Amino acid sequence: MNQAKTFFLMAVLTVLFVWLGNLIGGKQGAMIAFIIAAAMNFFSYWYSDKLVLSMYKAKPVTESEAPELYNLVRGLSQRAGLPMPKVYIIQNESPNAFATGRNPSHAAVAVTSGALDLLSWEELSGVLGHELTHIKHRDILIGTVAATFAGAISFMASMARFGALFGGFGDDDEGGGNFFMILIISIFASLAALLIQMAISRSREYLADEGGARISGNPRYLANALKKLDAYSRRIPFQSVNPSTSHMFIVNPLKAGGIVSLFQTHPPIEERIRRLEGMTM
């Protein structure tokens, strides 16, 4: 089911991308955008996980380098009925984690050094169980594709607004559109990319929380971890976070307040904790 959702998402984001290309350069811009979108579909399916991991300077670790972490991931993977994913550590004081990869056989889990320092092994098992559930449900491909395209669409929308301000487009007959139409639609495209991320993330996080609780064996492990992760990530924000990838983390690495909080890609931590504490195993 999630594979079909992924291809549908690719199609929707491709249409948005081509639409923006048309606004920027008319028919020629639309054709260029389509070619870029096709290349991005290929790249995001096969290589976007490597891009995200390299973006955060995640380092792969072996069993000899991090035996306790490696053994924990292996035990949880066996309990979840999954192949052993690759294990990465991100040297960052902000506590967080995410999973990526195109399918369970080509998956990776990444944990920050801050999370390893902060959480007990029981709490870490809840966090890793959450990420393994994303892998099991094949959420990780959807999330990574959304991250790749959302970033590209936001960039294209910024180009459209910048070009519109300085009159850098073709006339209406060439499909370039007028100033106000370009401005409105480019803003809409950026918002649409954000809403797609948000819709994917909010629904999948609750399911991953439930799965993480079952894989780790106790819902309170993850509930306690979320309390700590939320509190400490506010005090020690993740530096240099790409907003297009924020939905991939177990807790939102971005600071947000006021109206920005309405567009959070994660459901409220309080609600996630309430659901976990109300679970019966």
DSSP reduced 3-state for 106:
strand
User: Residue 237's pLDDT band (boundaries 50, 70, 90)?
Assistant: confident
Find the catalytic residue in 131, 174, 210, 270: 131
Is 131 annotated as catalytic? yes
d(CA 98, CA 110): 5
d(CA 87, CA 99): 10
Burial degree of 124 (CB within 10 A; 0-12, 13-18, 19+): buried
pTM: 0.78
Tell me: the pLDDT tens digits for 182-227? 667 667 666 666 666 666 666 789 999 999 999 999 999 999 999 9
What is the pLDDT at residue 265? Answer: 66
User: Residue 234's pLDDT band (boundaries 50, 70, 90)?
Assistant: confident
| Cβ count within 10 A of residue 165 | 11
Q: Which region, left, alpha or beta, applies to residue 258 given φ > 0 means left and ψ of -120 to 50 means alpha?
A: left
What is the pLDDT at residue 175? Answer: 44
Q: Closest by alpha carbon to 99, among 215, 208, 222?
A: 208
What is the pLDDT at residue 5? Answer: 63
Q: Closest by alpha carbon to 44, among 75, 13, 80, 77?
A: 13
The more confident residue out of 263 and 152 is: 152
Give the 3-state secondary structure percentages of the chain, helix then strand then coil, rounded to 5: 70, 10, 25
Residue 240 has pLDDT above 60, yes or no: yes
What is the pLDDT at residue 67? Answer: 96
- Could you report how far apart the first and last alpha carbons of the chain are, in Å? 26
Average pLDDT over residues 105-112: 96
Pairing status of strand 106-112 against strand 86-90: parallel
DSSP string, 168-236: -S--GGGT---HHHHHHHHHHHHHHHHHHHHHHHHHHHHHHHHHHHHHHT-HHHHHHHHHHHHHHHHHS
DSSP string, 2-38: HHHHHHHHHHHHHHHHHHHHHHHHHHHHHHHHHHHHH
Average pLDDT over residues 58-85: 97
What is the pLDDT at residue 160? Answer: 65
What is the pLDDT at residue 185? Answer: 65
